[in-house]
């Protein structure tokens, strides 16, 4: 009997850091990506808060530490928890930018996953519709009005007629009433 092992959980384990230097290590391991996110958000928050304090010097007098640490922690938590279409939020936004730059802005059109060039034409011309009839003894008859099941050649030379699996329809027949 075979045993199937699932290594997905082990291979998707995020990178963690614990050893900072040769002499110093943390008592617990910390995931690398949230730490990087926290420091990025900390920098952004510091720049925004610094500009606010330049305009309003007494802003955040009592809550500067909460503003500087709380907002990056909240943003880091949200970024790690939000999974749009099962993707990391950064990968999702990269894909959206790629879509807009390569497909939406150039206005490309696709059919069956292949790019269609001719849809850029502004005018599409259609041939005039032709009624499919045949002449029998000088009298015009429709191809589906009898049980002859013969092909009729229309004026363009195309063979048309009733398909064998369909019942013939008579144009003068009355509708069944239920």
Bridge partners, residue 72, by sequence: none
Q: Are 143 and 161 in contact (CB under 8 A)?
A: yes
Is the confidence at residue 162, as pLDDT, over 50?
no
- C-alpha distance across the termini of the chain, in Å: 63
Predicted pLDDT at 40: 94
- pLDDT value of position 35: 92
CA distance 44 to 90: 16
Residue 152 has pLDDT above 50, yes or no: yes
Q: Are 143 and 134 in contact (CB under 8 A)?
A: yes
In angstroms, the CA 7 to CA 9 distance is 6
> Quick one: pLDDT at residue 134?
57
Tokens of 175: 């509708």
Contact by Cβ (8 Å): 17, 32 = yes
Percent residues over pLDDT 70 in the chain: 68
Query: 75 is written with which tokens?
Result: 């943003």
Q: What is the mean pLDDT of residues 120-137?
A: 64
Specify which residues 136 forms β-bridges with: 139
Exposed, middle or buried: residue 162 (CB in 10 Å: 0-12, 13-18, 19+)? buried
Least confident of 70-79, 150-159, 169-178: 169-178
What's the whole-number average pLDDT of the chain?
A: 79
pLDDT at 131 over 60: no
Q: Which spans in the chain are helix H?
A: 8-11, 32-55, 64-81, 89-99
pTM: 0.54
pLDDT the model gives residue 164: 47
Q: How confident is the model at residue 161 (pLDDT cuts 50, 70, 90)?
A: low
Mean pLDDT of 138-161: 59
């Amino acid at each position: 009997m075979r045993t199937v092992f699932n290594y997905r959980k082990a291979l998707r384990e995020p990178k963690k850091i614990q050893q900072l230097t040769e002499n110093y290590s943390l008592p617990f391991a910390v995931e690398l990506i949230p730490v990087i996110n926290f420091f990025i958000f900390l920098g952004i928050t510091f720049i925004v808060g610094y500009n606010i304090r330049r305009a309003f010097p007494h802003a955040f007098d009592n809550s500067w530490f909460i503003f500087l640490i709380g907002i990056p922690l909240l943003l880091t938590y949200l970024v790690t928890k939000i999974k749009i279409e099962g993707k990391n939020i950064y990968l999702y936004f990269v894909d959206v930018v790629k879509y807009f730059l390569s497909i939406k802005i150039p206005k490309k059109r696709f059919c069956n996953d292949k790019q269609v060039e001719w849809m850029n034409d502004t005018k599409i011309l259609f041939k005039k519709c032709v009624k499919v009839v045949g002449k029998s003894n000088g009298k015009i008859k429709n191809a589906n009005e009898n049980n002859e099941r013969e092909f009729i050649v229309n004026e363009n030379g195309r063979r048309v007629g009733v398909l064998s699996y369909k019942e013939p329809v008579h144009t003068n027949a009355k509708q069944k009433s239920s």
